[in-house]
Structure 1
């Protein structure tokens, strides 16, 4: 079994998992009936196969908790197969994969390999638009001392600085500017991401008022869609150059030296708005027809498979024309998409279920603000309930 760096990011029992393999045309026998599946391959979970809600819905499965059985009506023969759920100690392996397909063999990835590289090739090309930093008139350069770091963080700092130097994303700096570098945890991925505490710089930066779309409005575009694909730009911020005269203001201080960014860095106040502007410009003809974009997340939606293939090619062609690089993902802005509609990612609901009991007015408002978002996914959410 071979593994590639192009991963599907999916939610499985326990926590989000990355996987890069799928099984094509897997034959699954249940009783006298045979089914064809295209499941993804997960790291060892102690379970041979997971038949999710989509599969159970398509095959008219009925779950009876009392008798611990699942009844499945065949769409071909009309026969009903009853499956008993044994105790864990009686479960034996029943399904074995015979052929694995790398995601790179999916047509859209196979036909556009230059758009889906394993790593960014280096400094982005010159474009008509570059990220700018406009300062409030009369401001002076800001310089802050580096933050203290633990020994393991200093080791990681050296590694990431060298990687970014090698790719041309940063270079040594001697300007009077300098904000401290720090690490943040990579969400669901492990490891640390090198960032810069640009709060002092942001405080004297003229704010870009370009609007970010409201998530609810984005999802309203998907009402009639049945097929979805998710493409995520690879290290999207690093694919945008900073205007040369603004580069010195991106300077950041570390234990070892002072550096400056030649590409858009995490933490800059106008970065999301500028990125949204650029992406809307790239996909202007497709927006609200077959594409939804939120910063570096691209969702392609269609009514059927044939139409979806055409939409995919249009999107990837746009990326190629603008020399933008991407990777495939599944979840979109913390939601699960299917022909049944939009649902909250179950892993996100855990935040509500595990919320500490509020003890102050501020904490109550914070909880209600989070829980209130789910009203569009829960029928009669606002109706009073009796205990």
Structure 2
């Protein structure tokens, strides 16, 4: 059952090697994955830990007990000056109506939503076509989000997380099953998440995506759940989790410890998106391995394939791509100065020889994949 509405999968944690399935459920199709570069002894050590904790994998929303609301739930903090707004129902074509009915049925079966008869807040449903042609149901919380002050809970520094997770021999990448939906809405705020459909109004019993401060609440949950593991044996950025260890014995212990934390707080994993015991993988847009940190090859290949910009918009795209690789490009600002100056000019666009020289320097550097070696390797 696909209830994961994340659109951008490019930055998801994933291994950079082949993976092999292991059965962890009653059916032969209920599997999770191990890395393929393990020795038989290493493979058996990790497999045993995973099998011993197979009850922590969810195959259906009914397998999720949910986070104890007394431990953490999502509460809306609405400005006192804000007025509730009930949006008028927007018209939808027959195909969208049918898709909405199907998605609402899934959410009702999962007990993620309930029907609502009276509400002062009301939002419309927005249907988005996924790359595979299926529909994704989103909720337009524009007005509700405007009424909520930003939760300033700090997100971790990405560079620190990547540095902390790199340079380890063994990695495991974990993914929570419909993670946000494992967090309950505060009972007083459920009705504020109301949305309208062709036949009825509903509100969320669990924290939905698209709420302004949902990411901050989820990071808070991760920090509380894994307070003894973060910066020691794992790194977490919102719903991206990586377990890192120097040897196989430590990795088995670290995984056992993390499974215990998951069980203690009633969190469940998505077995299809977890992989255990790999030697490298993608985390927050970077490639991690025992050697250190490597630039995501997709990112530097995008620059190598770029033609010289002919419009300001293309220059902006180039600048963004270069910035995302700044850790791997010493003297970035100095070399890119002719290009960056184009972003400040108001007169007619002109790609100069100096600009061309800059982009060619970057392409030459990126033609050999750069690596930031960990201190242990160095």
TM norm structure 2: 0.70
- Whether 2:280 is the aligned partner of 1:338: answer no
Q: In the TM superposition, what is the alpha-carbon distance from 1:175 to its structure 2 partner?
A: 0.7
Which residue, 337, 361, 369 being the options, matches 2:320?
369
2:124 paired with 1:180: yes
Q: Take 1:317 and 1:183, find their aligned partners in 2: how far apart are those partners? A: 38
1:241 aligns with 2:192: no
Q: Which has the higher contact order (CA 8 A, sep 6+)?
A: 2
SS across alignment from 2:98: helix
Map of 1:214 onto structure 2: 157
Aligned-pair distance for 1:374?
Answer: 1.0
Q: How far apart are residue 317 of structure 1 and its match?
A: 1.1
| Residue aligned with 1:146, SS | coil
Larger Rg: 1
2:247 alignment counterpart: 304
Counterparts of 2:35 and 2:229, CA distance in 1 = 30
Alignment match, 2:89: 146
More strand by share: 1
Question: In the TM superposition, what is the alpha-carbon distance from 1:336 to its structure 2 partner?
Answer: 2.7
Q: Deviations over 1:234-267 (max 9, x none)?
A: 1101000000101111011222321100101110
Tell me, which stretches of 5 or more residues in structure 1 are unaligned?
1-7, 23-37, 41-53, 56-102
**Equivalent-residue separation in structure 2 for 1:301 and 1:190 (angstroms):** 36
How much does 1:11 deviate?
6.6
| 1:1-387 equivalences in 2 (<5 Å) | 21=21, 106-121=47-62, 124-128=66-70, 129-173=72-116, 174-186=118-130, 191-327=134-270, 328-329=274-275, 331-349=282-300, 351-352=302-303, 358-361=309-312, 363-378=314-329, 383=335, 384=358, 385=360
Deviations 1:42-66 (A, max 9, x none): xxxxxxxxxxxx99xxxxxxxxxxx
Moved more, 359-368 or 286-295: 359-368
Say which structure is richer in helix. Answer: 2
Q: 1:169 to 1:355 in 2, by over 3 A?
A: farther
2:239 & 2:77 partners in 1: Cα distance?
23
Aligned residues: 300
**Cα displacement (A) at 1:344:** 3.5
> Residues 10 and 298 from structure 1, CA distance in 2 versus in 1: closer, same or farther, beyond 3 angstroms?
closer
- Contact 1:252 1:258 (8 Å CA) reproduced: yes
Counterpart residue number, 1:27 = none
* C-alpha contact 2:58 2:269 (8 A) present in aligned 1: yes
Q: CA RMSD in A?
A: 3.3
